[in-house]
Amino acid sequence: MRLKFTLRSSSRSINANYNYHLSAAIYDLLRLGSPEFAEFLHDTGFQLETGKTFKLFTFGVEFPNVKAVGEQLLFIDKYAALFISSPLTEKFLHSFVTGTVQKSIFKVGTPTKYTNFIIEELTVVPEPVFTGEMEFRLISPMVISRPTVSSEGKRGTYYLRPDDEDEASEILTNNLIHKHFLSTGIDLTGKAEVKLQWDKNYISRRKRVTKKVTINPNSPNATDIIGVLAPFKISGDPELIKTGYECGFGNKNSMGFGMAKIQTEKL
C-alpha cells in the first residue's frame, strides 16, 4: 500500500542531503502511533536466519519546483509530495497515519537547523496491476551494492552503475526474495527472478544518472551512498515486482532509496 502526503513548507529551503533527517522524522511520527512497533523497527527490524535485517518500507519526496544552491534546495513552490510505501498496512502505515493525526507539523533537520513541513492532505495511491514486465520511474535513487575487500584487506562497498545490469539483476532478485519472504512468509528462492534494464535512451541524453547522497551530513558518522536515478524496465515474477514497489527496489529503502512509480503514472 502507498500513501501520498501533500506537504507545505513554512521554511525557505531544505538540505539537499535530507534523507537521514526525513527518515528520523518518519520514525518520530510512527512512534506517536505505535511506540513499541517504532522501537522494534528502528532497533531490530525484520530478520532472516542469516541475521540480515530489513525495515520493509520506503519513502520518496517530489519537490515540484526547487533551485539547488550549494547544499540547499531553495523552495520556489512551497508544496511537496511525500510518498510512503509498505506491505505492512496495519503495523506500519496505520500507525504512521495515527501519528500524523496527533502531529500534523514536523521538522526535518537538526534541533538548531531544520525545515518545517505541514501535512495538508493525505490520499491513498491506487495500486497498479502487477505484470511480468513493467516500466517504472524512480522517485528516489535506486541503490544496489555489494561488499568489497581490497588487496590490503580493507573492506568497502561497490555501488553498481547502469553498466552492471546482469550483476544488478542477480543482487536485486535475492534482495526482493528476502523482502517477499519476510512480508508474506512465502519463500521464492530458486522459483522466481527479475531482470533489470535501465532506459538507455534516457541515460544517453544525460551527463550523469548516478546521484551521491550523504547520510547524516555534517557529523562524524557521515556516509556517502551512490544510487541511480533513471527510468527502468523490470521483467520477471509479478509478486517480486510488487514487493519492490511496496518495500523499495534495492538497498537502503528505509533511508529513502528505491521508491518507484509506474512510468505513465501521474501523481
pTM of the complete model: 0.95
| Helices 35-43 and 19-33: angle between axes, nearest 10 degrees | 140
Run of H or E including 108: strand 105-109
Residue 132 half-sphere exposure toward CB, CA atoms < 13 A: 3
**CATH number for position 93:** 3.30.70.1890
Residue-by-residue pLDDT tens, the chain, 267 positions:
999 999 999 999 999 999 999 999 999 999 999 999 999 999 999 999 999 999 999 999 999 999 999 999 999 999 999 999 999 999 999 999 999 999 999 999 999 999 999 999 999 999 999 999 999 999 999 999 999 999 899 999 999 999 999 999 999 999 999 999 999 999 999 999 999 999 999 999 999 999 999 999 888 889 999 999 999 999 999 999 999 999 999 999 999 999 999 987 544
CA distance 167 to 226: 16
| Residues 92, 134: Cα–Cα separation, whole Å | 26
The SS3 assignment for 18 reads coil
Counted domains in the chain = 2
Task: Work out whether strand 114-125 and strand 2-9 pair parallel, antiparallel, or are unpaired.
Answer: antiparallel
Structural domain that includes position 166: 133-262
Bridge partners of residue 41, in order along the sequence: none
100 part of a folded domain: yes
Same domain, 51 and 146: no
Do 137 and 42 lie in one domain? The reply is no
Q: Are residues 149 and 57 in the same domain?
A: no
Residues 257 and 142 in one domain: yes
Residues 141 and 258 in one domain: yes
For cell 550549494, what's the residue? 70
* Domain finish residue from 90, 125, 160: 125
Contact 142, 260 (CB under 8 A): yes
Residue 267 included in any domain:
no
**Identity of the amino acid at 185:** G
Using left for φ > 0, alpha for ψ between -120 and 50, and beta otherwise, residue 218 falls in left
